Amino acid sequence: MAGIYIETYGCQMNEYDSELVKTILHENHHDLHGAEEDADVILLNTCAVRENAFNKIFSRVGNLKHLRRSHKVKVGILGCMAQNIKNKLLENPNIDFCVGPDNYRELPELIQKSLGKTKNESSTRLSKEETYSDVQPTREDSINAWIAIMRGCDNFCTFCVVPFTRGRERSRSVESIVSEATQAVKEGKKQVTLLGQNVNSYKNGEDDFCTLIEAVSEVKGLQRIRFTSPHPKDFPDHLLHLIAQKENICKQIHLPLQAGNTEVLTRMKRDYSREEFLHLAQKMRKLIPGVSLSTDIIVGFPGERDDQFEDTASLMEEVRFDSAYIFKYSPREGTYALKHYPDDVHEDEKKRRIIKLNEMQRKHTTESLSRMLGLECEVLVEREETHLSKEQCQGRTDQGTTVVIPQNGSLKCGDQVRVIIKDKTAHVLIGELIS
Ligand code: 5AD
Ligand code: SF4
């Protein structure tokens, strides 16, 4: 039995995967409760989606050098980076083994080997079947549960490394997901987030995402259902109607745009035009009153001209997303764009573009928060104190906006309370309890 310490980087799928890894290691009698300094093995569950994710891990591995020397700690790299650049990682003298996202069942064996001093082992075979459907994640959050419903991606957007690090799309059965959601509710969870690299491309035999989310919405006692990350190509009207009608499906949709110019979208291989995206966003706003829309945008994709970038800015003006994550294009190993399109937008120009869009978005986010002032809403309490104060607690609205409310001494995680919105900061609403 070894002491294991896990650190997670990147997306929610990685958070979920770390919960699966904890279960797998716990079943193999490893101890996961100790601090970093007491561990025999440190695992970094990594992301490969942009260059800065890589840099973070290399600098973290460098920081761990002293523990390797003084405490003979072994360092294992899990996740997308392990899958993407395993050879480079194994050349690093401070890394002992690598395990890809489909090989976590082999982790106990690799840990054993590394403790027995076998150096530079790896397990990075992508699988067409692995969904870890039978592994119950070790959940530490008292009210939220992530549930991965599908894994992998078949879209091959030209900028994206995910199809290479997480392999082909495969979905779990509706029964196994409903049973996991039911179990989560029994354990006291109020909110589940359905996860997948292309969550709404879910397909298991005859069952699609509509069948699945409808079945999950019928789980007794489940107050809130969210899902991420969807692709704009898989939003049939029926899904929009379900979101509008089912009370426990949250009115919050993440709708990754990536670019607002059709020519750029075509080179990204996104499968929709500027007009189709606009039409979809407008339809969502019409069919789901009050829906909150967030997005992902990439600036400086190879060959993106200034006028094409301006199309992204004008689309943002038109849709007015409630929030947005904006990234500079970063060439990734294995992708079509890396092989075929030179990264020819200058770094300074990428910077100018990201600053411009972030400023625009700040205004749109402020507008969106301001619309809530004076309104009443339901807040699900998710933290009994905030990182700033013990006198405040924090939760989210149905639309996913964070609300801070005074802690009256009796508010507990999982309470659903009615609140009036009194004020706002840049990203957060300030509310007061309605007695
Ligand atoms: N460069 C910059 N951003 C990227 N993303 C994915 N790949 C890249 C890349 N090579 C962004 C996309 C995606 C989000 C998760 O990360 O916007 O939606
Ligand atoms: Fe990457 Fe595109 Fe798949 Fe999303 S849909 S994971 S951006 S390849």
Ligand nearest to the CA of 299: 1
Q: Helix, strand, coil: what percent of the chain each, to 5?
A: 40, 25, 40
Q: Is the pLDDT of residue 277 over 90?
A: yes
Q: Tell me the H-state helices in 139-292.
A: 162-166, 174-186, 209-217, 237-245, 262-268, 274-287
pLDDT in tens, 73-94: 999 999 999 999 999 999 999 9
Question: Residue 3 gets which letter from DSSP?
Answer: B
Q: Work out how many domains the chain is built from and give that number.
A: 4
DSSP 3-state of 230: coil
| Smallest CA separation from ligand 1 atom 16, residue | 49
Domain that holds residue 396: 376-433
Average pLDDT in the 2-27 region?
Answer: 96
Ligand nearest to the CA of 232: 2
- Considering the domain architecture, whether residues 118 and 8 belong to the same structural domain is answered as yes
Residue identified by tokens 């969106």 is 368
| CATH code assigned at 426 | 2.40.50.140
CB contact burial 276-303 (16+ within 10 A = b; e otherwise): ebbebbeebeeebeebbbbbebbbbbbe
Give the C-alpha separation, 204 to 171, whole Å.
6
pLDDT in tens, 222-245: 999 999 999 999 999 999 999 999
CA of 156 to the centre of ligand 2 (A): 6
- Considering the domain architecture, whether residues 271 and 226 belong to the same structural domain is answered as no
Q: Is the pLDDT of residue 118 over 80?
A: no
Q: How confident is the model at residue 66 (pLDDT cuts 50, 70, 90)?
A: confident
Q: In terms of residues, how long is the chain?
A: 435
Least confident range of 13-27, 88-102, 379-393: 379-393
Which of 151, 165, 198, 268 has the most ligand 2 atoms within 8 A of CB, as the residue to mutate? 198
Work out the mean pLDDT of the chain and round it to a whole number: 95
Q: Is the pLDDT of residue 166 over 90?
A: yes
Q: Is the pLDDT of residue 435 over 90?
A: no
Give the C-alpha separation, 178 to 175, whole Å.
5
- Considering the domain architecture, whether residues 155 and 107 belong to the same structural domain is answered as no
- Supply the pTM of this predicted model: 0.95
- Considering the domain architecture, whether residues 215 and 317 belong to the same structural domain is answered as no
What pLDDT score was predicted for residue 122? 86
CA of 357 to the centre of ligand 1 (A): 16
Which atom, in ligand 2's list, is nearest to the CA of 160? 1
Average pLDDT in the 300-328 region?
Answer: 98
Asked if residue 401 lies in contact with residue 226, where contact means CB atoms within 8 angstroms, the answer is no
Average pLDDT in the 380-409 region?
Answer: 93
Q: How confident is the model at residue 120 (pLDDT cuts 50, 70, 90)?
A: confident
CA of 350 to the centre of ligand 1 (A): 14
Is any atom of ligand 1 closer than 6 Å to the C-beta of 327?
yes
Q: Is the pLDDT of residue 15 over 90?
A: yes
Task: Tell me how many helices (H) and strands (E) the chain has.
Answer: 15, 20
160: nearest Cα among 271, 254, 280, 239: 271
Asked if residue 99 lies in contact with residue 106, where contact means CB atoms within 8 angstroms, the answer is yes
Contacts of 135 (CB under 8 A, 6+ apart): 20, 23, 24
- Considering the domain architecture, whether residues 228 and 267 belong to the same structural domain is answered as no
- Considering the domain architecture, whether residues 207 and 281 belong to the same structural domain is answered as no
Among residues 330, 352, 371, the one where a domain terminates is 371
What pLDDT score was predicted for residue 1? 80
Tell whether 131 is covered by a domain.
no
